[in-house]
């Protein structure tokens, strides 16, 4: 499988389709936010690099996976930053080891920015992240579900930014 990792700012034509996929995946957490708002927010929030960087996994020129580096991802926990957010693989391509490449791209970006820790929250994917070296930090309730806050210490990543993500 020849997975490429790109930055979404280099392919703005993918924003609309990805926003639809994110809305389908996570829209139930924000029942009052229409698809148009997801698209607008994605469009407005992405940056070429650093906080706001959105990485896209590309197979045969099609965007089939994504992950973002964001400053905050949990209202009320602005003491923690930055966050890995929006980790998503198209349903047809799950279970093929693609997700870890997107996670690695965001980890490398945060490490490059000299952040020593990265955070995420998940309702149920703690085992997936645990396999990638993430540790559970706290359990809480968020957006109506049990949320697990996890963290990754980035000091261990060492030099060679980008190598693990495959680009």
Looking at the DSSP assignment, which residues form a beta bridge with residue 47? 53
Contacts for 132-139: CB closer than 8 Å, 24+ residues apart = 132/100, 132/103, 132/104
**122 or 154, CB closer to ligand COA?**
122
- The least distance separating ligand COA from the CB of residue 159, rounded to whole angstroms, comes to 25
Whether 101 contacts 165, CB under 8 Å: yes
Residues of the shown chain interacting with ligand COA in the complex, contacts defined by CB under 6 A: 25, 87-89, 94-100, 122, 125, 127-128
What CA–CA distance (Å, rounded) separates 27 from 82?
A: 22
Give the residue with the Cβ less far from ligand COA, 96 or 139. Answer: 96
Which residue is listed with tokens 């579900």? 145
User: Which residue number is nearest to ligand COA in terms of Cβ?
Assistant: 95
Instruction: Supply the minimum distance, in Å, between the C-beta of residue 89 and ligand COA.
Output: 4
Closer residue to ligand COA (CB): 48 or 130: 130
Unique residue bearing structure tokens 């703005």: 12
Q: How far is the CB of 75 from ligand COA (least distance, A)?
A: 16
Task: Report whether 123 contacts 54 (CB < 8 A).
Answer: no
Closer to ligand COA by CB, 25 or 40: give it: 25
SS3 7: strand
In whole angstroms, how close is the CB of 124 to ligand COA at the nearest point?
7
């Amino acid at each position: 499988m020849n997975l490429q990792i790109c930055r979404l700012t280099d392919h703005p034509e993918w924003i609309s389709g990805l926003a639809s996929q994110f809305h389908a995946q996570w829209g139930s957490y924000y029942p009052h936010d229409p698809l148009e708002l997801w698209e607008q927010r994605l469009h407005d929030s992405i940056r070429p690099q650093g906080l706001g960087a959105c990485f896209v996994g590309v197979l045969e020129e099609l965007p089939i996976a994504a992950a973002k580096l964001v400053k905050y991802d949990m209202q009320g926990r602005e003491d923690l930053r930055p966050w890995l957010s929006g980790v998503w693989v198209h349903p047809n391509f799950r279970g093929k080891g693609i997700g870890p490449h997107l996670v690695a791209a965001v980890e490398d970006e945060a490490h490059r920015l000299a952040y020593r820790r990265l955070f995420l929250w998940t309702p149920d994917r703690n085992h997936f992240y645990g396999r990638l070296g993430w540790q559970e930090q706290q359990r809480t309730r968020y957006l109506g579900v049990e949320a697990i806050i996890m963290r990754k210490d980035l000091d261990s990543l060492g030099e060679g930014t980008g190598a693990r993500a495959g680009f």
